[in-house]
Chains A and B, each alone.
Chain A
Amino acid sequence: MSYQQPKFRHPSLPVNDLGYTRADYEGAISTLCAGCGHDSISGSIVRACHELSLEPHKIAKLSGIGCSSKSPTYFLGKSHGFNSVHGRMPSVVTGAAMANRDLLYLGVSGDGDTASIGMGQFAHAIRRNLNMVYIVMNNGCYGLTKGQDSATADEGSASKKGDPNPFGAIDLPGLALQLGATFVARSFSGDKEQLVPLIKAAMSHRGFALIDVVSPCVTFNNNSASTKSYEFVREHAEATGTVDFVPMREEITTSYEPGHSQEVTMHDGSVLRLRKMAEDLDPFDRGSAMMALEASRSSGQILTGLIYMDKDSADLHEVLNTSRRPLNTLAEEDLCPGDKVLQNINQSLR
């Protein structure tokens, strides 16, 4: 059993704008089961952060409880981390974000942590459009407690134990759309070509960005009767289109036939290029996104890719007019501006 990765890396690993290789964004060696989809998501997060040239100390990764929530240990070893109470990650992110808006908040949760115990927290974080990336590592079962069906397990799907699930599933993207989420996507752990650009786009989005990632549990839920197995997802995944993410500082060189692609400039200047989009989906129209989700679900498919994005999203900081500067940089003169200021305030209230 290997307890750590060898320190040697490929001698010609690509270096990003900060001079870092992908290895600089890795974490400790995973202790999840071999073949766990979560590890692939961790790998995608590492790739996205490296390719975006993010400074590791400008990222905070937060999680709740569960297999998914263990995974932040396995990526971004040089970033801030907080492993919170079960289902309460959104509250901790809210507090952290209010105190310091300069960090990029990456919440990692699971289907249990989000759709069961943390449902209330999830709903309110969306409702407030908290500026964060919320990744759900969704395997449809409670892997850490021997694989019981979770709230996202599809009706009729059976895990290794063999009993079909009698209850309907909570569809997280559908729920998020209803609650007013400003960025909603779904992906699959086994498809990095799709997942990495989505993570990058979510990180550039201002406001709450949900990526529901189907992530097979090889130990308890990767059998033939499961709808969250590698095989089932590969056969039933239906992409809304292809998302290319072009960072702000990169010149756009590729050109595509008109009609095939659509470009969106994000608030940070980077560009999302959507190609081969499904004809019946307008990802900038909430109603259209909900229709597409429902249509896909009723035909037994799993809709993946970018489902909805509000280009003009106003996040919680804007709504509440919070401090631009991190609270820990505010000195006494900022917090106690003096008698004159107080008089002015009192005057304004008369």
Chain B
Amino acid sequence: MTHLWHVYCNVWDGLSAQELSNTVEPTDVKNPEYFHKVVDCQYACPAHTPVPEYIRLIAAQRYTDAYMINWESNVFPGVLGRTCDRPCEPACRRGRVEEEPVAICRLKRVAADNKDSIADRLPSIPTEKNGKRIALIGAGPASLTVARDLMPLGYSIDIFDNQFAGGGMMRSQIPSFRLPISVLDEEVNYILDMGVVTTFDTEITSLKSVLDQGYDAVFVGTGAPRGKLLNLPGLEEAGDSVHVGIEWLSSVAFEHVEKIGKKVLVLGGGNTAMDCCRTSRRLGGEDVRVVVRSPFADMKASPWEKEDAMHEGIPIYDNHVPKEIVVEDGVMKGMLFEKVEAHYDEDGKRSLLPTGEDLVFMEADDVLMAIGQENAFPWIERDIGIEFDKWDMPVVDKTTFQSTNEKVFFGGDAAFGPENVITAVAHGHQAAVSIDLFCRGESTQNRPAPFTNLVSQKMGIHEWSYANAVADDERYIVPLAPMDQALKNRMVEVELGFDTDTGFKEAERCLNCDVQTVFEESRCIECDACVDICPTDCITFTENGEEEELRTRLSAPARNLEQDLYVSETLPTGRVMVKDEDVCLHCGLCAERCPTTAWDMQKFLYNVTKAGQEVA
């Protein structure tokens, strides 16, 4: 009857010895991935940019420092601050404690817009080369990232592209009203100016001929360049009135096309379709419509890109399947669509079933088809040791990006199909690590560990080196250029970006998830102060158990299974500390109210492995 007996008798009574052994192991916070996962935005980012770290620098008006953290990690902060697919934002913890995530992408742009010259911060390029020559085919984000990582290590790099300048799809596919050319040129040139030998306006037609030039390694970053046409009745007769979306966008970017008909139909529901319709509005399209087979909610385009299109007066017709292109007397009149309804079976598999209504006719002077892209490698010989799979795609290792020809590496859309800029950058970094290991004669599989650091943020009693107060502000909206001006000229950038004051306020919304709550069992006196103060009921002291069951009896139920439980070793009373990471505000109150500093707020920095790092 002693020693808090009554607390436990209840639980122990019903459990057999077998069940008691099924308890959660103490969390190993030395595993770099544990705390990395707590930083939701960074974990979700393909390139794992240390987001909270640069957001704090923006709040401190240290824009150049914030820019450089981005530049190291994602290479194109100015471009990505405008055009990134932002996988970080849906992951942002703020979206779980209130409505909207932090505007991470637009904060990145604040850093890019307000930085000083970074000339003196760029890595120095050795004048004495290491004797290794690398060829990069395609000058898009993946190849440029490889160049960025390998040039400072002394590699000699030749880059080839069929366009007149570097940037790849960032130049040909992203319209100027979303990405000014000056921003792109600046960030492409930081890399090319390192001494990369460029060969532009040149199509590579044989990989063998490149390999024959004696390169130590070749990186293929040629993207997914081939658009598709829907083979509908009337397609041939319609002739020049039907365009492939991505080809049309690059014709606009390179000024081969300057106008389009008044009535435009854009087929497709992805971001390319959104760029096509918005560009059409600027080249004379008055009645521009997006028509998509799937329901609106299932469209592949990012929600904000759909919003931007609709904001410019472009309606989106969903559940319309194209049936026929109507041509009369050799002139395209429009298209016929069948209305469908989406049905989902038990496995969630979708089928689009016709509603039985009459076909819908829509008039059109021009049709843009943005229904997907494909990789194509007609220029890669099939007898040079590169294995191709049954879809005629090269077999590429998902970690090393090496093909079955050990000298040839792939990255970006060319590796595993169409993704986005930030994914291409992530591929480029990893391919650069592999190329460097390969050229040094080491195994590409044996990769150096990521860089991590964990430092207390304590400045004094109850004083932290980060802004731990949680701002209540709702997400700030980015101002736009007046629509009449924006639609007149495709070179006018639509989004104006946050000014520095708004940037500060938005930066303060960041919860600093990288400042970790670190718990040290040996100091804990189980006074419950942390449990009592925690505003979001993250902390519980309780008996250990099976995770599924443990999650149900915490201070607040831990129903988000994607978020880990931080479980301590057994404490003197026989209980464990369990912290549900899900909605922790990183406010530091647990550490402030802890009398023995068993809790401490420690900043966790995680940088992915980079080329040139030694294997530990």
Query: Closest Cβ of chain A: how far from B430's Cβ, in Å?
Result: 36
Specify which of A2, A36, A191 lies most central, judged by the most chain B CB atoms within 10 Å of its CB: A2
Say yes or no for A249: interface residue by CB 8 A criterion.
no
Contacts of A278 in B (CB 8 A): 1
Q: In the complex, how many angstroms separate the beta carbon of B197 from the nearest chain A beta carbon?
A: 54
Interface digits, A186-228 against B, CB 8 Å rule (1 contact, 0 not)? 0001111110000000000000000000001010001000000
Q: Which of A5-13, A62-70, A162-170, A330-338 lies on the face that meets chain B?
A: A5-13
Q: What's the Cα separation between A42 and B533 when bound, in Å?
A: 10
**B318–chain A nearest beta-carbon distance, Å:** 31
Segment at the interface with A among B54-62, B70-78, B223-231, B591-599: B591-599
For residues 236 through 258 of chain A, which have their beta carbon under 8 Å from a beta carbon of chain B? 236-239, 241-242
Contact of A9 among B5, B536, B587 (CB under 8 A): B536
Checking A2, A13, A241, A301 against B537 with a beta-carbon cut-off of 8 angstroms, the contacting residue is A13
- Residue numbers in A under 8 Å from B383 (CB-CB): none
Cβ A192 vs Cβ B528 within 8 A:
yes
- Asked if B398 is an interface residue, CB under 8 A from chain A, the answer is no
A283 at the interface (CB under 8 A from B): no
Q: Does A305 contact B (CB under 8 A)?
A: yes
Q: CA separation between A236 and B96, bound complex, in Å?
A: 43
Per-residue interface assignment for chain A, residues 283 to 323, with 1 indicating a CB less than 8 Å from any chain B CB and 0 otherwise: 00000000000000000010001000000000000000000
Q: Select one of A12, A14, A36, A222 contacting B529, CB under 8 A.
A: A36
Nearest-neighbor residue (CB-CB) of B592 within chain A = A2
Please state if A191 and B4 are interface contacts (CB–CB under 8 Å).
yes
Q: Kindly specify which of B463-471, B499-507, B514-522 makes contact with the partner chain.
A: B463-471
Are B9 and A34 in contact, with the CB atoms below 8 A? no
Compute how far the CA of A10 lies from the CA of B526 in the bound complex, rounded to whole angstroms. 22
Question: Is B20 positioned at the interface, with any CB of A under 8 Å from its CB?
Answer: no
Contact of B257 with A by CB under 8 A: no
- Taking the closest CB of chain A, its distance from the CB of B601, in whole angstroms, is 12
Q: Is the CB of B528 within 8 A of A238?
A: no
**Given that A193-B7, A276-B9 are contacting pairs, would A10 and B536 also be in contact in the complex, using a CB cutoff of 8 Å?**
yes
Answer yes or no: B232 CB below 8 A from chain A CBs.
no
B583: chain A residues within 8 A (beta carbon): 8, 10-11
B589 to chain A, nearest CB (A): 6
**Of the residues A190, A216, A237, contact of B3 by C-beta under 8 Å:** A237
Given known contacts A2-B588, A10-B556, A231-B525, A39 and B594 CB-to-CB distance under 8 angstroms = no
Give the chain B neighbours of A14 by CB distance below 8 A.
556
A37 engages B6 (CB within 8 Å): no
- Complex Cα distance, B113 from A2, in Å, reads 33
The verdict on A42 contacting B532 (CB below 8 Å), with A6-B587, A35-B593, A237-B4 known, is: yes
What separation, in Å, do the CA atoms of A242 and B5 have in the docked complex? 10
Interface residues contributed by chain A, number (CB under 8 Å): 48
Q: Is the CB of A35 within 8 A of B596?
A: yes
Q: Which chain B positions have C-beta within 8 A of A83?
A: none
Chain A nearest CB from B571 CB (Å) reads: 11
State whether A6 and B592 are in contact (beta carbons under 8 Å apart), knowing that A1-B462, A11-B96 are contacts in the complex. Answer: no
Please, which residues of chain A bring their CB within 8 A of the CB of B214? none
Asked if A234 is at the interface (CB within 8 A of a chain B CB), the reply is yes
B residues less than 8 Å from A42 (CB atoms)? 532
Q: Name the residue on B nearest A26 (C-beta).
A: B535
CB neighbours (8 Å) of A192 from chain B are 528
A40 CA to B532 CA, complexed, in Å: 6
Report yes or no: B470 in contact with A218, Cβ–Cβ below 8 A.
no
Taking CB atoms, residues of chain A closer than 8 Å to B9 are: 242, 276
Which residues, 1 to 26 on B, are CB-close (under 8 Å) to A? 1-7, 9-10
Residues of B within 8 A of A339 (CB): none
Most chain A beta-carbon contacts within 10 A, residue among B468, B528, B593: B528
A30: Cβ under 8 A from any B Cβ: yes
Q: Are B592 and A8 in contact (CB under 8 A)?
A: no
A8:B470 contact, CB within 8 angstroms: yes
Cross-chain contact A239 with B532 (CB below 8 angstroms):
no
Cβ of A236 to closest chain B Cβ, rounded Å: 7
Is the Cβ of A35 less than 8 Å from the Cβ of B532? no
A230 in the interface, Cβ–Cβ < 8 Å? yes
Q: Is B385 an interface residue (CB 8 A)?
A: no
Nearest CB in chain B: distance from A185 CB, A: 13
Residue A17 interfacial (CB < 8 Å):
no
Q: How far is the CA of A242 from the CA of B470 in the complex (A)?
A: 40
Alpha-carbon gap, A11 to B98, bound state (A): 8
Would you call A33 an interface residue if the criterion is a C-beta within 8 Å of the partner chain's C-beta atoms?
Answer: yes
Q: In the assembly, what is the distance between CA of A29 and CA of B535, in Å?
A: 10
How far in angstroms is the closest Cβ of chain A from B209? 60
Q: Are A1 and B529 in contact (CB under 8 A)?
A: no
Q: Does B265 count as interface, using CB distance less than 8 angstroms?
A: no
The proximity string for B residues 84-97 relative to A, scoring 1 for CB distances below 8 Å and 0 otherwise, is 00000000000011
- Asked if residues B532 and A2 are in contact (CB atoms below 8 Å), the reply is no
A residues within 8 A CB of B10? 242
- Quote the shortest CB–CB distance from B474 to chain A (angstroms): 12
Q: Is residue A72 contacting chain B, with contact meaning CB distance below 8 A?
A: no
A231 nearest in chain B by CB position:
B525
- Indicate if A235 sits at the interface (CB-CB under 8 A): yes
Q: B496 → chain A, closest Cβ, in Å? A: 30
A112 at the A/B interface (Cβ < 8 Å)?
no
Q: Of B3, B529, B588, which is within 8 A of A35 by CB?
A: B529
Known: A10-B556, A34-B593, A218-B595. A190 touches B2 (CB 8 A): no
Min distance, Cβ B9 to any Cβ of chain A, angstroms: 7
Is B531 an interface position by the 8 A CB rule? yes
Residues of chain A with a CB closer than 8 A to B97's CB: 8, 11
Give the residues in chain B near A301, CB-CB below 8 Å. Answer: 2
Decide if A43 is an interface residue (CB 8 Å cutoff).
yes
Whether the pair A5, B535 counts as a contact (CB closer than 8 A) is yes
Shortest C-beta distance, A272 to chain B (Å), equals: 15
Whether a CB of chain A sits under 8 angstroms from the CB of B557 is yes
B556 touches A33 (CB 8 A): no
Contact present for B470 and A43 (CB under 8 Å): no
Cross-chain contact A194 with B7 (CB below 8 angstroms): yes
CA–CA, A16 to B139, complex, Å?
61
Q: Say how far B238's CB is from chain A's closest CB, in angstroms.
A: 52
Q: In the assembly, what is the distance between CA of A2 and CA of B462, in Å? A: 7
Can you give 13 contacting A-B residue pairs, CB < 8 Å?
A5-B589, A11-B583, A22-B537, A35-B525, A40-B532, A190-B528, A192-B528, A193-B6, A193-B7, A218-B527, A218-B595, A234-B4, A242-B10
The 3 closest A-B pairs by CB, nearest first: A35-B595, A6-B470, A43-B532
Given contacts A8-B97, A237-B4, 6 further A-B contacts (CB under 8 A): A10-B583, A12-B557, A12-B559, A34-B592, A234-B573, A239-B5
